[in-house]
Amino acid sequence: MPSVRGSAVTVLLAIVAIGAAVSGGFVLGQHHPYMRITTHGEWVRYANAAGDSVRAYVAYPERKDKAPAIIVVHEIYGMTDWEPTVADRFAGEGYVAIAPDLLSSKYHSTDSVGNRATQLVSGLPDSAVVADLDATYHYVNGLVATRKGDVGIIGFCWGGGTTWKYAAANPALKAAVPCYGPVTDTAMLRTVKAPVFAIDAQNDNRVTGMLPGITAAMLGNHKTFTSHVYTGVGHGFLKPGRQGSNSAAADSARADIDAFFKSHLKAQ
């Protein structure tokens, strides 16, 4: 007869496997860039300038000194199970990482709005988004674990476009990575201070077609700017389940992002 301990372990592993499948396919023991994670993540709330409550996931690195920080901005679908795994991976690389739910200050959370999330995110005023990101910046910059004034940002899809907008709005940022983020008004790029590394996909001309204008505006205004178009992948390729998400190009993009942040935020 199997032991109680053996049965419990079997049940636990089954639960972990089911949970991994639901949260994006990360199976225990499977090699994947997101498997190196922190052991300390938590959900928090903090006030924006209007006194509304912003909900966010914060992941902490295991290190004995203060760490630089990275803000992670979600896609147009709002906060999903994926963004905390991105924060966890950055924590594993030595950063305090924070992923705010940018629907939360108005609608409590993405979960509370159900299938209206995409519509509501697309309707958020830029001023409200910047206010919530300002609150996020001040919250993470004020944590005892954070090296003050050493904060970067990364965003995906809608969050990539938002990363451009926030880089233009906050001159204190030290690095910005818009991933397949559209820019419809290149005039705003004049106020960007942070070095920017743009991630784009070959099979995503809706966004990648904007890159020549973005490049001209950034370099014409003497900004620190680099970009890379990854071949054979589509929009959103850094998220599991998208075209090219399990490709060498996606692995290369993650390595390039890590190198960029390491260069400008100096994680140890």
Mean pLDDT by 10-residue block, N- to C-terminus, for the chain (268 residues)? 39 35 32 49 96 96 95 97 94 96 97 96 98 98 97 98 98 98 96 98 97 98 98 96 94 97 83
Q: Are residues 160 and 231 in the same domain?
A: yes
Rounded-to-integer distance, Cα 36 and Cα 215, Å: 34
Radius of gyration for the alpha carbons in the chain, expressed in angstroms and rounded = 19
The answer to whether residues 105 and 146 belong to one domain is yes
Task: Pick the closest to residue 239 from 84, 134, 16 (CA basis).
Answer: 84
Same domain, 19 and 82: no
* pLDDT value at residue 39: 61
Identify whether residues 151 and 48 lie together within a single domain. Answer: yes
The answer to whether 81 touches 23, Cβ cutoff 8 Å, is yes
How many residues does the structure list for the chain?
268
Residues 45 and 154 in one domain: yes
**Same-domain pairing of 111 and 151:** yes
Q: List phi, psi (to 5°) of 30.
A: -75, 135
Do 152 and 233 sit in the same domain of this protein? yes
Say whether both 224 and 237 belong to one domain: yes
Are residues 134 and 194 located together in one domain of the fold?
A: yes
pLDDT at residue 27, rounded to an integer: 31
Task: Kindly report the pTM of this predicted structure.
Answer: 0.86
**Residue 266: its pLDDT value, please?**
73
> Distance of alpha carbon 243 from its chain centroid, rounded?
19
Residue 47, both tokens: 């006030």
Residues 6+ apart with CB under 8 A from 156: 73, 74, 75, 179, 180, 181, 236, 238, 239
The reply to whether 14 and 112 lie within a common domain is no
- Shared domain check, 7 and 38: no
Measured between alpha carbons, how far is 126 from 165 in angstroms, rounded to an integer? 8
Number of domains composing the chain: 2
**Domain that includes residue 53, residue range:** 32-265
Q: Domain holding 91: CATH number?
A: 3.40.50.1820
User: Does one domain contain both 46 and 18?
Assistant: no
